[in-house]
Amino acid sequence: MNFEKFGFSFLPLHTDPIIDDTTLRDGVQMPGLAVTPTDAAKIAKLLDEIGVERIELHHFQKPDKQAAKLIHKMGLKASIAGWCRAVKEDVDNALDCGFDDIGISHPVSFIHFKAKWPEKTPEELIDRVVEVVEYAAKDHGLRVFVHGEDSTRADWNFEKRFINAVADAGAKCYRICDTVGIGLSSLDAPLPIGIPAKIKAIKAETKIENVEIHAHDDFGNAVENTLAAIRAASGVWPKIYASTTFLGIGERAGNAETEKVIMNLLMHHGIKKFGYKISKLKETADLIGKATGYVVPPNKAIVGDYAFAHESGIHTHGVLSNALTYEPYPPELVGNKRRLTIGKQSGKAIVKYMIEEITGKTPSNEAVLDVLQKIKAIYSGGRKASLRDEEFRRILRESGLLEKTTNNSVRKMP
């Protein structure tokens, strides 16, 4: 697909970004959300279809186990991963659920150590994690990702010892967890808070085979920090995993949005493997919203109902002339659609266009001004919401552009 025609200039990446979606693990931990096993399986199928290559699941409660069983049966291209604490019982649970991949999560910052294990030394905590990693990787042949919780507040000298220890124990990947969202994307930001610095230091000073970024959105920077990690990996790591959730759902302020990371990788970096799969982004968002009870904000980028909505006179006039004036790409590309609405800011161009759409005839300038005057009269009373279709049609009837049939349906004026 030729995205250059939309005005994009690609910045090449010399690393393979792997989307590791954790909507069905971290995402559904968001307060008030829940998902049935059947819906979880439907979500996993769509995630697989849009190019997610690793899907992380909960697997401790009975419904989670049922969902994992359903998802495994579908034979998806994506690898299916469990999530564990650094305890053998969690690994046993993952084995019972049939996982080949697991993540083992453990804090790496002294803030967490003092709050949770004040009586243990850092070396004792490393030994604790190493024992579980060896149990999972060497004793049971699982592919292990170790999640360094609160990595962006960890002492680097300790963290690199931790990473090397779990690598020796059999871990294949280390996940940088920006647990409270304080990471910085700047190339000049130092360790431990600098995301690019962390990506490069792990490569230079540890023996782990792969790296991953898991960014939280407490400062609204999760997507920025995820992309910063991927860009920092370019030319340094052959591949990098990006842990994301669709719609950014998750605990507190949530995580980096899967759909935003995918679209940035495709449109700004030309990662072609996503190019023919993004038409289901809107469908995926709608399914997750319906399945979990999450209300998708209408102005949510890419997948919101209003992501391609236009009302003001300047915008609608531009879009009607050339959609690229106020849209970066066609909404159909991501399975969304353009919405032209009538409201307080509407001008002659959109009113004329909507009259033509409904009546099939080109109105006179006087008719357009008459309709526009009636619209402005409605909004002079303080109304804020856009006009509903039936409200606009009523105005057209009042202006003599539509008439009622005997059965109360509307027909076009001859």
CA angle, 181 then 185 then 191, to 5° = 80
Task: Report d(CA 151, CA 329) in Å as an integer.
Answer: 36
Task: Report d(CA 355, CA 374) in Å as an integer.
Answer: 14
Task: Report d(CA 19, CA 42) in Å as an integer.
Answer: 18
Res 407: pLDDT: 47
CB 258 within 8 A of CB 22: no
Length of the chain: 414
Task: Report d(CA 144, CA 155) in Å as an integer.
Answer: 23
* HEC letters along the chain: CCHHHHCCCCCCCCCEEEEEECCCCCHHHCCCCCCCHHHHHHHHHHHHHCCCCEEEECCCCHHHHHHHHHHHHCCCCCEEEEEEECCHHHHHHHHHCCCCEEEEEEECCHHHHHHHCCCCCHHHHHHHHHHHHHHHHHHCCCEEEEEEECHHHCCHHHHHHHHHHHHHHCCCEEEEEECCCCCECCCCCCCCCEHHHHHHHHHHHCCCCEEEEEEECCCCCHHHHHHHHHHHHCCCCCEEEEEEEHHHCCCCCCECEHHHHHHHHHHCCCCHHHCCCHHHHHHHHHHHHHHHCCCCCCCCCCCCCCCCEECCHHHHHHHHHCHHHCCCCCHHHHCCCCEECCCCCCCHHHHHHHHHHHHCCCCCHHHHHHHHHHHHHHHCCCCCCCCCHHHHHHHHHHCCCEEECCCCCEEECC
* Alpha carbons within 13 A on the beta-carbon side of 167: 18
Backbone dihedral angles phi then psi of residue 340, each to the nearest 5 degrees: -105, 120
Mean pLDDT in runs of 10 for the chain (414 residues)?
77 97 97 96 98 96 96 97 98 97 98 97 97 98 98 98 98 98 98 98 98 98 98 98 98 97 96 91 98 96 94 80 89 94 86 88 92 90 87 90 60 46
pTM of the model: 0.91
Res 97: pLDDT: 96
The contacts of residue 232 (CB under 8 Å, 6+ apart) are 187, 195, 196, 199, 200
CB 68 within 8 A of CB 98: yes
161 CB-contact burial (10 Å; exposed 0-12 / middle 13-18 / buried 19+): middle
Closest by CA position to 261, among listed 240, 242, 239, 280: 242
CA angle, 383 then 380 then 326, to 5° = 70
Q: Taking the CB of residue 139, how many other CB atoms lie within 10 A of it? A: 11
Q: Taking the CB of residue 221, how many other CB atoms lie within 10 A of it? A: 20
CB 85 within 8 A of CB 106: yes
CA angle, 397 then 398 then 400, to 5° = 60
CA 287 to chain CA mean position, Å: 14
Res 414: pLDDT: 42
At the top level of CATH, which class does the domain 14-292 belong to? alpha beta
Task: Report d(CA 390, CA 44) in Å as an integer.
Answer: 39
Res 345: pLDDT: 82
The domain segmentation of the chain, as residue ranges, is 14-292, 309-412
